Structure 1
Amino acid sequence: MTSAVSSPIQQQVQVRLITAADNAAIAQVIRQVSAEFGLTADKGYTVADPNLDHLYETYSQPRCAYWVVELNGEIAGGGGVAPLVGEAEDLCELQKMYFLPSLRGQGLARRLASQALSFAKEQGFARCYLETTASLTQAIALYQRLGFEHIAGALGSTGHVDCEVTMLKTL
Structure 2
Amino acid sequence: ITYLLSLREHGDPPLRGACANLLAKLIQTTVHLLTISQPISSLSNSFNNSFVNQSSLVSTDSQESSRLDIQLGILAELLSAFRLCLNDNSPRVVHVALTALRTLLPVLLINSHALTIIGIELLEDSIQHSSSSYLLAKIALAQLIGDVDFRILTYLEQQQQLKKTVKF
TM-score > 0.5, shorter chain as reference: no
Per the normalisation by structure 1, the TM-score is 0.31
Using CA pairs below 8 Å that are at least 6 residues apart, which structure has the higher relative contact order?
2
Larger radius of gyration: 2
Bigger fraction of residues in helix: 2
